[in-house]
Structure 1
Amino acid sequence: MLKDFLKPYKPKPETWKESSIGHLCCFYTDEIPELSETDIVIIGINDGRKSIGNEGCSNAPDTIKDEFYKLVKQNSKIRISDLGSISAGDTFEDSISALNDVSDFLLRENITLIILGGSQELAFGQYMAYQKICKNMEYVCITPEFDLKNDNFLRKICTFKPNYLFNINILGYQSYLVESDSIDVLQKLYFESHRLGNLKKDITDVEPMLRNADMVSINTTSIKQADAPANASGNPNGFSGEEMCQIAWYAGLADKIKSLGIYELNPIYDVCGQTSKLVSQMLWYFVDGFYNRKNDNPILHNEFIKYRCTLADKQPEAVFYKSKLSDRWWMEIPYPDSYGEHSILTPCSYNDYLMASKGEMPDRFWRGLQKINM
């Protein structure tokens, strides 16, 4: 089935060092690599038709791969297969359907998927692939701007039937690029959005936002243009290259994330291949995080310290858990009494605990209460 959609990537081992990661990877040539011996699959999709003025992003997958396979391997445990790229269909909807079919097959094989676009609109196909495997989908979208009024990938995700979407978390949006109506709609749905400036104050706060995610998509224009020039509509402000690599590592570390999509890189504007090199380094950090996953959750083991905090104004007690394995934090969100369930656990940060220890309700705690009382 996969062969019907994919054309092989041609690796360039003559550009690799002896220690390069490419030597540990399997590549689709005549036959699809053995998926039972694969942890991570990398695919490209060569369609930029919905990226207005930036259609050259269709050529990004191979340029990113060329740089990634040169990088030095983290360890010898890596099991990565490159299945090539999906060619653009007769229509953009055909490309979405092909990405859905390929991603659906691989996700049901319990493989973690890296998708290299292509237009950010392809994230809809990435999302559709979860409908058979996920009941309460959590999606993190890293982008400088979003719009929920027009017919685009984000609106399609929000309105898709069957509805298996539990949460959207938009990271790094820039206020002067986003209409207030779109932010209001997200808030009414109790979805989350976080401004670039707030996240840059402490990039470690991104980690709990990614920890429960099932899917992540990254628009490369969320990286400031000085660090990532490969887009016709780049932004002078954005995450730095270092910050984005740290975010990619957090995404790899997150136990639930099954797919990472990176979109909108246009090689035509990529001075000295700078953006392709940066994205390849983001992939390196994602892979490194993946192989350092802890399966760390208070439900799974007892290596936790429990803290109780009394909040002001007769609010519910806040209960926190700190992992002895990773120093990461979770908090309980109590269900209403009528539900018959005690609470759900949600990732949080040390700063949330500090706020609660002073009797103040953390924003994350409040949003959790609103969502389960919808």
Structure 2
Amino acid sequence: MAFDFLVPVADKVLAHCELLPPQALGKKIYKHTKRDGLPVLALANIAIIGVNESRNAFEKKPEQLDVSAIRLEFYKLMMGNWNSSIVDLGDINAGQEVSDTYFVVKEIIAELLEENIIPIVIGPTQDITYPCYRAFDGLKKMINLVNIDSRFDFGDHEELISSHSYMSKIITDKPNNLFNFSNIGYQSYFNSQEEIDLMERLFFDAYRLGEVTSNIALIEPLLRNANIVSLDARAIRASEVGMLDNFSPNGFTGREICAIARYAGISDKVAVFGLFESENSRQSFQLMAQIIWYFIEGYNFRIQEVPYINKEDFTKYIVPTDSQELVFYKSNLTERWWVEVPSILDSYNKSEIAALLPCTKDDYVEATNQDIPERWFKAFKKGLN
């Protein structure tokens, strides 16, 4: 059983929990300990897992990421008004080969997915996204992956998998379960024109850092449709994490990245949340802990809304354009928007009905001005292929 490879939470973290006030998360989380073993998963909603594997780092890591220090900062935070049950399963240590570590990560996440438990995976390198993606193989469904990253991480297709090239492996590897890939916060000077062109050719979504920071609500529909969210901490500006060497002067602020994490948590489709590429500094540990807190905060505000099922809770808008008749739905409860994509069939219903693409009110307004939203066009084209 893959859970046998999990290492208990460090004694120093458990000792620190004894000093925390009763309202702190450290007092509320069920932990994997040497004395008591693994916590019971039956009622758990969220599971925290550390992965101590960095051999495929593009820039070699001078020291191991101190996941226990992130835990310490997270445990200090106060529990929100939450109904969710959180377990900390401890860490996965590096196997004899990197592929061994990947296998254990994949198997553990697959088991958690079967139990409807959302893993929050903390690791030193973003290539760990690959086994997270492979964990969905047994579910026989197409996957939407969203990366919050300054780079696309395609790399050279001939290069061995690394933290800068794992996306090429995800795109080309069989079985190919990837339906859509979206990047939030890319910075043009870190990406070759060939990579940018590839994103266009494959009808993937990419939003530059400036686009997102000028209107952060723009990316909420992307996250609403995501199954996996993988966050590269280097998308955050260096000053926010303690001026660490591998971080850039430009990037998201702490407030922006926490807002994005909350959107990811609110999405009722997000089943895996990964937090990678952090480095060792007190400020970085604190920010990573707060990102996790905001994801869980979002999770506790989840509302499952399906316009085809709860018809009375939605208003339907039909917008004729020169080339297409677009059908929009607006939730009367949350004021979120969706648009039908007739080239893709809906997964909620076996009948021949169009899938729904999360969108914004601005997309609806654009359509009324005879301007078809770009995300709709890409999804429509992808459904025809």
TM exceeds 0.5? yes
Equivalent position of 1:298 in the other structure = 307
Instruction: Show the counterpart of 2:338.
Output: 330
Equivalent of 2:26, from 14, 17, 22?
22
Question: Does the 8 A contact of 1:38 with 1:81 survive in 2?
Answer: yes
Check conservation: 1:21, 1:71, Cα contact below 8 A. Answer: yes
Residues 267-296 of structure 1 show CA distances to partners (whole Å, capped at 9, x for unaligned) of 1xx2xx111111111111111111110001
1:128-143 equivalent positions in 2, closer than 5 A = 128-143=134-149
- TM-score (norm. length: structure 2): 0.91
Q: Distance in 1 between matches of 2:6 and 2:62?
A: 20
Aligned residues between the structures: 366
Q: Does the 8 A contact of 2:32 with 2:39 survive in 1?
A: yes
Structure 1 residue 76: Cα displacement: 5.1
- SS of the residue aligned with 1:98? helix
Query: 1:54 Cα deviation (Å)?
Result: 4.9
Identity in percent: 35
Q: Deviations over 1:225-266 (max 9, x none)?
A: 111247431011111110110000000000011110100111
Q: How does 1:1-374 map to 2 (within 5 A)?
A: 1-10=1-10, 11=14, 12-29=16-33, 30-56=36-62, 58-75=64-81, 77-150=83-156, 151=159, 152-229=165-242, 231-267=244-280, 270=281, 273-302=282-311, 303-311=313-321, 314-335=322-343, 341-374=352-385
Task: Call closer, same or farther: CA 1:240–1:58 in 2, change over 3 Å.
Answer: same
Counterpart amino acid of residue 66 in structure 2: A
Contact 1:138 1:168 in 2 (8 A): yes
Distance in 2, Cα, partners of 1:24 & 1:331 = 40
1:22, 1:336 → 2: CA distance?
A: 45
The separation in 2 between residues aligned to 1:149 and 1:6, in whole angstroms, is 31
The answer to which of 63-72 and 87-96 deviates more is 87-96
User: Which structure 1 residue ranges, 5 or more long, are not aligned?
Assistant: none
Contact 1:148–1:182 (Cα < 8 Å) also in 2: yes
**Distance (Å, rounded) in 2 between the aligned partners of 1:231 and 1:132:** 39
Structure 1 residues 246 and 56, CA, compared in 2 at 3 Å: closer, same or farther?
Answer: farther
Tell me the CA shift for residue 2 of structure 1.
4.1
CA drift at 1:130:
0.8
| Structure 2 gap ranges (5+) | 160-164, 346-350
Pairwise CA RMSD of aligned residues? 1.8
Question: How far did 1:47 drift?
Answer: 1.3
For residues 80 and 360 of structure 1, do their structure 2 counterparts lie closer, same or farther at Cα, with a shift above 3 Å needed? same
On the 8 A contact 1:57/1:117 being kept in 2, the answer is no
Query: With structure 1 as the length reference, what TM-score do the two structures score?
Result: 0.93
